[in-house]
Every structure is written in structure tokens, then in C-alpha cells.
């Protein structure tokens, strides 16, 4: 019976069923509470594209807040926007759920390890589905940027990198997978090709002048959003926001954090001889999934669905049991965001209780960077052991 139960829970189909059930629960919750705001922001971008109205202006008659995704997002949301909002929301959330799940299945890992990642992701999946966010697909595109790197000489990887970048900018970090490509020249060509495609795609529905202006508007909206996040009371759940709130210094420079973070991010790439090592590549993928969220002032609790697969990758490769048994439970507990769920007034008046969410992810990221640098030592030790055996 115990073995049967173990086999049941170690089944990927069971994990997918749990994911879909969670998605459906929060879709029904949105229906019951008439909470469609984020979805309405998204689907309204397609209507605004057709009418050649600003994609980034406020439309208080339709929704609160404004859009901050690139112009091509209005095409991505189009199939859902053409449906009734209730049905569109259902398929939108299912789409994001299933795309991320399928992306995790493309990782070069055993089924058991993929199952573990699937369970670890559940708290972040709840946050993402609750908020009707695109972030699950953004994370999926970053994973696929790596797993598809040598499929058809990088054709699909380049598509995922460029699409992720043209929608949310986070995808640009996938460019580091260029170092793992076996057809680097062709890969560059596909990057250029997809950049042209996604830049021009909205022009099938609106004038070139409007689309070109929309890219400028997008840049301005991101600048304004960044300033708003830094100066806001409860926004910016990044590692930068954590230290800003901990030290009570709102003017603490992003550039200082990003410069240090970028230097740390690039450190493992000095091990050129490891570029073909699968464990090294997966640690880099983990770093890629963590870095843009940790160092973005736009990070929210629901944004960490992008990074949670990275936590799963770290966990299945981590050999230090103390690190696994302490850091993961703390991370998952904080990810559940109990202060906001149980004491919303207190949490919003004490922003540090929200931004602390980034701290365990930051510690995982540092550990991932360390593990990436240790792959070389492991390889040397394995080769020496083989030589002794021989």
C-alpha cells in the first residue's frame, strides 16, 4: 500500500492534475468574486491595438492600473480576448498553467526530479493563478530558451528568447544560452529573424506609425513603473526592495545592486570548459530564472512563479542536506505570503514583511552560483577516480 501510494504521488500526471485543479479553483473564485482586473488589463490591449488607442494609458471604465507589456503581447492575448471574459479567463489561466508544466517536462532530468519541481512550484502557482498573470508563461519561455537551444539550429530557442523579451524584457537574459549553442552563427541569424517578426507582427492589425509609437510608450511606461515601485509603500518585492526597506533608504541606487548582481551572474561563465556539462547548464538556467526577478523593481509575489523552477533545479542537485532541509521549507513558507493573506492591513503598512519574500530566493541564487562553480571540481574528482580505477 505504501509503495502504491508512493508511485501515485511520483506520477507526473498526478502533478499535472493538481496544477489544473488549482487553476480551476481560482478561476471559479474569480468568477464568484467578479475579480477580473488583471485579465481585463491584458485583453483590453488587443481592443486598443485594433482601435489604435494607447496600449499604456489608464482606462478606469474598464479596469484599474495600466498595461506594462510590450506591443506584441496584444497579439498573444488576442485568441482569449475574442471570447467572453468568463471563458477567456478560464482558457488564459489554463494556458499559462499548462505551458509552464510542459516546459518543465522538456528539462533533461529524470521523471522523479520533474515531479519534485512540480510540487515545489505549487505555492507560486497559486499566487500566479490567483492574479491571472502571464508570469508562468514568461518562466516557460525562459526554460524553453535553454531546452530548445539546439533544436533546428536554435530556431525555437531564439523564438522563445525574443518573444519573452518583446513581452516582458526578462527573457533577454536567455541570450546567455548562446554559449551553449552548437550552431552559433545560425542562432544569431534566428535571433535577428524573430526580432523582425515580433516587431512587425502588431502591424498586421494597426498602422506602422502607431506600433512604432507604442514601443516608445512602452519604454516610458516601464520608466514610470520603476520609479513608482521604488517610491511606493508596498511595491518592489525584489532583493533591492528588501534592502531599501530594511535600511529605510528609498533612494538606494538600483545601479549598485544590478552592477554587483551582474558581476556575480557572470562569474560562472569563466569556466568555458564546462559549457557542455549538463549540470553546469542547468545551474546557469536556474540562475537565469532567478536573476531578472531578484533584480527587478517590478517584482511582485506572483512574479516568483518565474523563479520557482529554479528553486526546484537547485533542490534536486543540492548535495548539502542541511541547506535543503532548512532553506526550502523557509522559502516555501515565506512564498505563501501569510502576512498579506492573514493580516493584510499590517502587511501593507509594514512593507518589509512583504519584501522579505525575496531573501530566501536570493540565498538560493547565491547557492546556485556556488554549485555552478563547483561543477568543475566535481568533474576533476570524477576523472581522477576513473583514472585510479583504471
93 in Cβ contact with 281 (< 8 Å) = no
In this predicted model, which residue has the larger pLDDT, 205 or 299?
205
**3-state class (DSSP) for residue 34:** coil
Tens digit of each residue's pLDDT (9 = 90 or more) over 285-338 = 999 999 999 999 888 889 999 999 999 999 999 999 989 999 999 999 998 876
Residue found by looking up cell 479596469 in the block: 63
20 in Cβ contact with 26 (< 8 Å) = no
How far apart, in whole angstroms, are the C-alpha atoms of residue 241 and residue 362? Answer: 12
pLDDT band at 340 (very low <50, low <70, confident <90, very high): low
Least confident of 27-41, 190-204, 228-242, 318-332: 228-242
Reported residue count of the chain is 390
Integer angstrom CA distances of residue 188 from 143, 153, 197, 287: 19, 10, 14, 22
Round the CA-based radius of gyration of the chain to a whole number and report it: 21
Q: Please tell me what DSSP assigns to residue 71.
A: T
Give me 305's grid cell.
512563479
Tens digit of each residue's pLDDT (9 = 90 or more) over 228-241 = 777 664 567 889 88
Give me 263's grid cell.
558581476
How far apart, in whole angstroms, are the C-alpha atoms of residue 259 and residue 265? Answer: 10
281 in Cβ contact with 146 (< 8 Å) = yes
The conformational region for residue 244 under phi > 0 = left, psi -120 to 50 = alpha, else beta, is alpha
- pTM score over 0.85: yes
How far apart, in whole angstroms, are the C-alpha atoms of residue 121 and residue 377? Answer: 30
Residue found by looking up cell 576513473 in the block: 386
How far apart, in whole angstroms, are the C-alpha atoms of residue 19 and residue 389? Answer: 46
CA angle 331-334-340, nearest 5°? 160
Average of per-residue pLDDT values in the chain: 90
Tens digit of each residue's pLDDT (9 = 90 or more) over 59-79 = 999 998 899 999 999 999 999
pLDDT band at 344 (very low <50, low <70, confident <90, very high): low
Question: What value does the mean pLDDT take over residues 265-274?
Answer: 94
Tens digit of each residue's pLDDT (9 = 90 or more) over 352-367 = 777 889 999 999 999 9
Q: Domain ranges in the chain?
A: 227-390
Is residue 102 scored above 90 in pLDDT? yes
How far apart, in whole angstroms, are the C-alpha atoms of residue 275 and residue 377? Answer: 14
Amino acid at each position: 500500500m505504501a509503495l502504491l501510494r508512493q508511485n501515485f504521488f511520483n506520477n507526473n500526471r498526478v502533478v499535472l492534475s493538481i496544477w489544473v485543479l488549482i487553476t480551476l479553483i481560482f478561476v471559479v473564485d474569480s468568477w464568484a468574486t467578479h475579480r477580473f482586473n488583471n485579465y481585463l488589463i491584458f485583453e483590453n490591449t488587443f481592443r486598443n491595438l485594433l482601435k489604435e488607442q494607447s496600449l499604456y494609458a489608464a482606462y478606469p471604465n474598464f479596469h484599474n492600473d495600466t498595461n506594462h507589456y510590450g506591443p506584441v503581447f496584444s497579439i498573444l492575448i488576442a485568441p482569449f480576448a475574442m471570447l467572453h471574459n468568463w471563458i477567456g479567463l478560464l482558457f488564459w489561466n489554463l494556458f499559462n498553467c499548462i505551458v509552464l508544466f510542459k516546459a518543465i517536462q522538456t528539462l533533461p532530468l529524470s521523471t522523479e526530479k520533474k515531479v519534485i519541481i512540480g510540487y515545489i512550484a505549487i505555492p507560486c502557482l497559486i499566487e500566479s493563478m490567483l492574479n491571472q498573470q502571464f508570469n508562468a508563461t514568461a518562466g516557460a519561455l525562459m526554460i524553453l530558451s535553454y531546452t530548445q537551444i539546439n533544436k533546428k539550429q536554435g530556431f525555437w530557442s531564439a523564438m522563445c528568447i525574443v518573444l519573452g523579451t518583446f513581452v516582458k524584457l526578462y527573457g533577454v537574459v536567455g541570450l546567455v544560452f548562446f554559449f551553449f549553442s552548437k550552431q552559433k552563427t545560425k542562432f544569431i541569424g534566428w535571433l535577428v529573424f524573430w526580432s523582425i517578426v515580433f516587431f512587425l507582427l502588431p502591424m498586421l492589425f494597426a498602422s506602422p506609425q502607431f506600433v512604432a509609437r507604442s514601443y516608445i510608450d512602452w519604454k516610458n511606461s516601464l520608466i514610470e513603473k520603476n520609479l513608482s515601485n521604488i517610491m511606493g509603500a508596498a511595491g518592489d518585492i525584489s532583493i533591492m526592495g528588501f534592502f531599501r526597506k530594511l535600511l529605510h533608504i528609498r533612494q538606494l541606487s538600483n545601479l549598485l545592486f544590478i552592477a554587483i548582481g551582474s558581476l556575480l551572474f557572470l562569474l560562472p561563465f569563466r569556466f568555458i570548459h564546462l559549457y557542455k556539462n549538463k549540470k553546469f547548464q542547468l545551474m546557469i538556467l536556474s540562475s537565469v530564472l532567478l536573476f531578472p526577478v531578484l533584480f527587478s523593481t517590478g517584482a511582485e509575489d506572483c512574479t516568483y512563479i518565474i523563479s520557482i523552477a529554479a528553486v526546484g533545479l537547485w533542490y534536486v542537485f543540492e548535495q548539502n542536506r542541511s541547506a535543503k532541509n532548512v532553506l526550502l521549507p523557509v522559502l516555501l513558507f515565506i512564498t505563501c505570503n501569510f502576512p498579506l493573506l492573514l493580516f493584510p492591513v499590517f502587511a501593507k503598512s509594514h512593507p518589509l514583511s512583504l519584501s522579505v519574500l525575496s531573501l530566501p530566493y536570493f540565498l538560493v541564487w547565491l547557492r546556485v552560483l556556488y554549485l555552478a562553480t563547483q561543477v568543475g571540481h566535481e568533474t576533476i574528482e570524477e576523472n581522477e577516480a576513473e583514472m585510479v580505477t583504471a
